[in-house]
Copies of this chain bind each other. A is one copy, B any other.
Amino acid sequence: MTENSKNVEDNLGSGIACPLPLTDYKNVLLAHGGGGKLTHQLIHKIFLSQFQNKWLDSLHDGAILPMNGVRLAFTTDSYVIDPIFFPGGDIGQLAVNGTVNDLAMCGAKPLYLSAAFVIEEGLAMEELWRVVVSMQAAAKEAGVFLVTGDTKVVDRGKGDKLFINTSGIGVVAEKVNIDPKRAVVGDQIIVNGPIALHGIAIMSVREGIQFGTKIESDTAPLNGLVHRMLEVCSDIHVLRDPTRGGVASSLNEIAESANKGIMIVEDVIPIDEEVRGACEILGLDPLYVANEGKLLAFVPAEKAQAVLAAMRAHPQGKESVIIGEVVDDHRGKVLMRSRIGGSRVVDMLWGEQLPRIC
């Protein structure tokens, strides 16, 4: 018995050795939190290998739970973004919108949120207050209630100003069944507007770079938009908000879950000129840059135009566009047809482009 497994045994007191699964890393790296391949390895090898139950699904934004005849959606997210105030928003607004959106991506109507604060000693009361005011405004906009909370304070140098966890509860409407495994050949992939705004807004603050036009985070609640989309087509197959790791990582996760191929078209992917320019300066690929107010929808082909029209009529979806489709080829992989006609694999990143982006 190794020393390691013996420790675990002592700790459990169960007499059953439970050795650490083989991992390539002895220590957690920043990249393990980047939303790419390393995050997936960590989740699969460490968390999923222990927390096994039928409701746990690593590849969805939340769990769907039976509760007295309704299906409850339940999700959690910690927000560790640096800086806590940024162009277009702050950590409080992000924490509300992010969890509202995770519920919406399960096809649920978000209802109740919790808010748990881990505050570094010394945070200005004024800053905490601004964050709290912003959370309440975001909750009001999204139509949810912050119903329970927790506050912890850690010593100076053992945190970073403020971390917020929000967990959320919502109810999934009848007939709705959103699941990354449900992507089928022919599904049209819609995005609700220009990508990469959030990540570039954060990066510009961190690097102290001023672009011609001020680039702001796209943080926004998407539950209203999703509600409208499901009214038009209750059989939307997949919804996903491409946050950490961007559009490329989300599409790869879905391709892998469904074991289908995905083909996207470079020319039609909406990217603002300023963002494209900033990405070139910073050496970033916009497909991997985080979004906060964007969603990817996989819609049955015959309903795609109707859903697209409904999205364009909604404030959060004015610039919606079909960027690709599900194909019966290169299963589990995402390909992009380029401007000059060829196509290339859009792989999942190993680590992260931008740490602590949400």
Give the B-binding residues of A (Cβ under 8 A). 4, 7-8, 11-12, 14, 18, 20-21, 23, 25-34, 39, 42-43, 46-47, 50-51, 53, 55-56, 62-63, 65, 67-70, 72, 74-80, 82, 85, 90, 111-112, 114-126, 128-130, 132-137, 139, 145-155, 157-160, 163, 165, 167, 169, 171, 355-356
Residues of B within 8 A of A76 (CB): 114-116, 148-150, 165, 167
> Are B132 and A12 interface neighbours, CB within 8 A?
no
Q: How far is the CA of A130 from the CA of B171 in the complex (A)?
A: 34
Q: Which residues of B contact A136 (CB under 8 A)?
A: 50-51
Instruction: For A151, list chain B residues within 8 Å (CB).
Output: 32-33, 39, 42-43, 47
CB distance from A320 to the nearest CB of B (A): 24
A-B contact pairs, 15 of them (CB 8 A): A14-B137, A23-B125, A28-B122, A28-B125, A30-B153, A51-B135, A56-B148, A67-B70, A67-B171, A75-B148, A76-B148, A78-B150, A118-B118, A152-B356, A158-B159
- CB < 8 Å: which of B65, B149, B159 contacts A47? B149
Whether B30 lies near A134 (C-beta < 8 A) is no
Contact status A356-B155, CB under 8 Å: yes
Please, which residues of chain B bring their CB within 8 A of the CB of A75? 114, 148
Nearest to A138 among chain B residues (CB) is: B12
A327 to chain B, nearest CB (A): 31
Return the chain B residue nearest A144 by Cβ: B53
In the assembly, what is the distance between CA of A190 and CA of B259, in Å?
Answer: 57
Residues of chain B within 8 A (CB-CB) of A134 are 11-12
Look across to chain B and name the residue whose beta carbon is closest to the beta carbon of A88.
Answer: B13
The answer to whether A90 and B11 touch across the interface, beta carbons within 8 angstroms, is: yes
Contact assessment for B78 and A114 in the assembled complex, using a CB-CB cutoff below 8 Å: no
Contacts of A53 in B (CB 8 A): 145-147
Residue of B nearest to A146 (CB): B51
Nearest CB in chain B: distance from A135 CB, A: 7
Please indicate the chain B residues that have their CB under 8 angstroms from the CB of A11 in the complex: 85, 90, 130, 133-134
Chain B residues within an 8 Å CB radius of A39: 151
B46, B65, B119, B157: the one within 8 Å of A125 (CB):
B46
- What separation, in Å, do the CA atoms of A79 and B163 have in the docked complex? 12
Q: For A129, give the chain B residue with the smallest CB separation.
A: B20
Q: List the 10 closest A-B pairs by CB distance, nearest first.
A: A33-B153, A167-B167, A76-B114, A63-B147, A165-B165, A158-B160, A63-B148, A50-B136, A55-B147, A51-B146
Rounded to whole Å, the gap between the CB of A168 and the closest CB of chain B is: 9
Are A133 and B68 touching (Cβ within 8 A)? no
Check B152–A74 contact: CB distance below 8 A. Answer: no
**Is A72's CB under 8 angstroms from B169's CB?**
yes
Q: Which residues of B contact A117 (CB under 8 A)?
A: 78
Interface centre among A28, A53, A85, A126 (most CB of B within 10 A): A28
In this complex, what residue of B is CB-closest to A160?
B158
Docked-complex contact B147 and A30, CB < 8 angstroms = no
Q: Which residue among A34, A117, A155, A167 has the maximum number of chain B CB atoms within 10 Å of its CB?
A: A167
In whole angstroms, what is the CA distance A68 to B299 when docked? 30
Closest to A76 in B: B114
Contact B80 A154 (CB under 8 A): yes
CA of A129 to CA of B8 in the docked complex: distance in angstroms?
9
CB-CB under 8 A from A167, the residues of chain B are 76, 114, 116, 165, 167
Which residues of chain B are near A155, meaning CB under 8 Å? 30, 355-356
CB-CB under 8 A from A7, the residues of chain B are 126, 130
